[in-house]
Amino acid sequence: MKHSTKLTCTRLYTGPDGVSHFADEALLLSALGNEGIQAALAVSRIGDVRGATFASLKAGTTEDWHPAPRRQVMVCLRGIVEVTAADGEKRRLTPGQFILLEDTSGKGHITHAASAEDHVALALPVPDAFPAKT
C-alpha cells in the first residue's frame, strides 16, 4: 500500500505590500514507489542542496529587522527561536520544527533566541520549485 502524509510547514513570505507575513502550508510527502520499502517511505525532495549551514545565536540575542539572505528552510535544532514578521505576528519554533523563509525583500523579520540556551539551526537553501504545490 502506498504511503503518503502531510507535514505542516510555517512559511514566512513578503506580500505585495512589501511586508512579511506567516502562512501555514501543507508539505506533501509521497511514496517513492509501489512495493516494499519504496511504498512505505514517503518523501518530499528538496532538490540539490548546496551551501547548507549551521547557525548559532547566543541565548537572549535579538537580530533586528533583516530579510532572509536567500530562500531557505531553517530547522531549529536547539533552543527556542521567536520570529516576528513585519505585520507584527510572532511565531516560536522549538527543536524539530522548521520554517520556510521566503521574505528575501522588504523589511524582513526579527529573530530572537528566546530560551536560556543558544538557538542552533540548520539552514538549507531551496529552489523555487520547493515545496511542490498540492
1-44: pLDDT as tens digits = 566 688 888 999 999 999 999 999 988 888 888 888 888 888 88
Under the banding of pLDDT at 50, 70 and 90, the label for residue 129 is: confident
DSSP SS3 for 93: strand
- Among residues 7, 123, 133, the alpha carbon closest in space to that of 57 is found at 123
pLDDT at res. 134: 43
Range of the structural domain that residue 81 is part of: 4-125
CATH number at 28 reads 2.60.120.10
Distance from CA of residue 115 to its chain's centroid? Answer: 19
Query: Other CB atoms closer than 10 Å to residue 86's CB: what's the count?
Result: 21
Looking at the 3D structure of the chain, how many domains does it have? 1
40-69: pLDDT as tens digits = 888 888 878 889 999 999 999 999 999 999
* 131, part of any domain: no
pTM metric for this prediction: 0.86
CB 32 within 8 A of CB 43: yes
